[in-house]
Structure 1
Amino acid sequence: MKKGWLEWILLSVALIWGANYTIGKFGVAHMSSIQFSALRFIMVAPILLLITGIIERGIRIEKKDWGRLIAVSIVGVTLYQTLFMVSVKYTTATNASLLISMSPIFTGILAILYKHEAFSLKTQLGSVLAFFGAAFVLLFGHSSHALSQLAWFGNIMGIVAAIAWGWYPILAKPLVVKYSALRVTAWSALIGAIPLTVYCLFTYQTLIWPTDIGSWSSLAYSVLFVTVYGLVMWYVGIGKIGSTKVMVYMYVIPLFAVVFAAVAIGETINAMQLLGGLIIFSGLYIVKKSPAPKTALKLKKAN
């Protein structure tokens, strides 16, 4: 795959993920966030495991690693994906995308707490600046489309989702080094779907099965484009050009999210959202430009 084509593919993934902040709203308009996530990952898991088996010629995880894999699955799928959909449901696509874009900040903080990396003053200053930006979005970033009584709840869930997504790579690092990000993600999709499915089974009588095309189209988009195409191409990119260069594309996702929301559903961005977003990305930029701290966790890749 030529480098130029790979860059366009990664941009398409960022666009798909950015659009999901708006398209996901149709999926949870009638279904609960847990129901939507359960259906999504029940469908996704077999596909990802099949793709992993084809690409890597194996999907085995050693018995001693299953405890960590379960923890990774609960945080990265059960918690994060559900919280993501809750945030998308109750607040604006703009707010959700800005708040969840803070996940690299929490990854940096947790990496220090877990002693994976050494303390960096510049990184922490960037983190504090990003938190100030989040405060602007949380307290003042409400457009006319986000004036529902539960908009504040969606904003808070966006922050919690960012924490969960920031925690995920810290927990997953030993597994990703030993196996691969694709294999860990495939198994996480299956394991993370189990508690969501069990919850849906126990609350089956209260579930709503929508008949509108919007709900099911949103689910299909999430399965085929966001997860299968998006994740596989993302990990292909990491394999070709490395995780550092690929992660740069994460920073354009909120831009795509804001533009798509404005075009598709007429969502507007106000001055406080804009100011908060600029502060958040200033903090992220400082963190990105910080010298790479020495890694405290030494891992050996398995044969």
Structure 2
Amino acid sequence: MKRWGIELLLVAVVTIWGINYTIGKYGVAELTSIDFTAMRMVIAAPILLLITYWIEQSLKIDRKDFMRLTLTAMVGITLYQTLFMEMIKYISAANASLIISVSPIFTTMFALLFRQEKFSFQKLIGSFTAFIGAAIVLLAGDHAGQSQQIIVGSIIGVLTSMCWGLYPILANPLIKKYTPLRVTAWSAVIGALPLVVLSGTEVFFTAFTLQPVTWFSLLYSVFFVTVFGLVVWYIGIQKIGSTNTMVYMYLTPLTAVIFAAIWIDEHIYLQQIVGGFIIFIGLWIVKYQKKRIAAPEPNFKN
């Protein structure tokens, strides 16, 4: 496939992910966040395993790596996916998407903490700038009568962003050894187990009584957000590189805001626009490098 074709698919993925900030709200209107995520992962995990085996002809993970894989799955699947659904139940799609856009800052902070990167004032200034933008976003809008709900949702949003920021730090040693798709497929399997225990198996017997709009939200999340989104995302990483692929993540808040405004008539405040702009300035400061250093190619294990 030509580069323009891959980039067009990546635009489709970030658009799908942006729309999910609104579509996901329908799922948690009838189901709890844990129940929704449990059903989603139970359906998506075997599909991801089949796709991984079809592409790579192997699902092997060394026994010594299962402890880190389990921790990665708990953070990136069990916690992040559940907190994400809980977050969008409480706050607007615009605020939720902009809070999650701060996750690369948390990635930088955790990378410094775990000594995967060196400290620099550039990263400190960029992180501080992004947090100022996030604070402006959280203060946006008319909160009268909803202040407690928005505060709860915002706290959950920050925790969600932290989980998404920590996920690549935990996964980094695994991704250097295995393909990202294999790590994600096994993470989905392992991450689904505690969700099933917490939700209880009876939740799956209620599937036949769910409203059509709930099923629409669930299937959209399974097939478009998880399966199609992740597979295309990792094809992008493989074909055009992780840096060129990650740039497309910055389009997600834009699609989330536009779709929410059109679909559910969500009001866009000037503070959200200003805060989002400041967040992206902070991200640019953190990520900007005067000299590009080529990273060694990972040695994926079959």
* TM tier relative to shorter chain: over 0.9
TM-superposed deviation, 1:147:
3.2
Show the counterpart of 1:268: 267
Question: What does the per-residue CA deviation read over 1:239-291, in whole Å, with 9 as the maximum and x for residues that have no partner?
Answer: 00000000000000000000000010000111222221111111111112145
2:68 is equivalent to residue 68 of structure 1: yes
Kindly indicate whether the alpha-carbon contact (under 8 Å) linking 1:94 and 1:257 is maintained by their aligned counterparts in 2: yes
Would the alpha carbon gap of residues 229 and 110 (structure 1) be closer, same or farther in structure 2, given more than 3 Å must change?
A: same
- Runs of 4 or more off by more than 4 Å in structure 1? 143-146, 202-205, 207-210, 291-295, 298-303
Show the counterpart of 1:82: 82
2:178 is equivalent to residue 179 of structure 1: yes
Kindly indicate whether the alpha-carbon contact (under 8 Å) linking 1:132 and 1:276 is maintained by their aligned counterparts in 2: yes
Question: What does the per-residue CA deviation read over 1:9-35, in whole Å, with 9 as the maximum and x for residues that have no partner?
Answer: 000001000000000000101100010
Equivalences for residues 49-68 of structure 1 within 5 A: 49-68=49-68
Partner amino acid for 1:198? V
Kindly indicate whether the alpha-carbon contact (under 8 Å) linking 2:178 and 2:299 is maintained by their aligned counterparts in 1: no
Partners of 2:144 and 2:291 in 1: CA distance: 40
Show the counterpart of 1:194: 193
Partner amino acid for 2:187? S
Show the counterpart of 1:142: 141
Kindly indicate whether the alpha-carbon contact (under 8 Å) linking 2:93 and 2:257 is maintained by their aligned counterparts in 1: yes
Equivalences for residues 93-242 of structure 1 within 5 A: 93-138=93-138, 140-143=139-142, 147=146, 149-201=148-200, 211-242=210-241
Would the alpha carbon gap of residues 58 and 292 (structure 1) be closer, same or farther in structure 2, given more than 3 Å must change?
A: farther
Partners of 1:83 and 1:191 in 2: CA distance: 17
Show the counterpart of 1:10: 10
TM-superposed deviation, 1:143:
4.7
Would the alpha carbon gap of residues 145 and 22 (structure 1) be closer, same or farther in structure 2, given more than 3 Å must change?
A: farther
Partners of 1:114 and 1:293 in 2: CA distance: 23
Would the alpha carbon gap of residues 174 and 290 (structure 1) be closer, same or farther in structure 2, given more than 3 Å must change?
A: same
Paired positions, count: 300
2:288 is equivalent to residue 289 of structure 1: yes
3-state DSSP of counterpart to 1:28: helix
In structure 1, stretches of 5+ residues that fail to align are none
Per the normalisation by structure 1, the TM-score is: 0.93
Partners of 1:192 and 1:145 in 2: CA distance: 38
Aligned CA RMSD, in angstroms, stands at 2.5
TM-superposed deviation, 1:213:
1.1
Identity %: 52
Partners of 2:254 and 2:209 in 1: CA distance: 31
Show the counterpart of 2:252: 253
Question: What does the per-residue CA deviation read over 1:72-120, in whole Å, with 9 as the maximum and x for residues that have no partner?
Answer: 0000000000111111111000000000111111111111111111112
Partner amino acid for 2:183? V
TM-superposed deviation, 1:142:
3.0
Partner amino acid for 2:218? L
Would the alpha carbon gap of residues 208 and 12 (structure 1) be closer, same or farther in structure 2, given more than 3 Å must change?
A: closer
Kindly indicate whether the alpha-carbon contact (under 8 Å) linking 1:143 and 1:270 is maintained by their aligned counterparts in 2: no
Kindly indicate whether the alpha-carbon contact (under 8 Å) linking 2:35 and 2:203 is maintained by their aligned counterparts in 1: no
Would the alpha carbon gap of residues 164 and 110 (structure 1) be closer, same or farther in structure 2, given more than 3 Å must change?
A: same
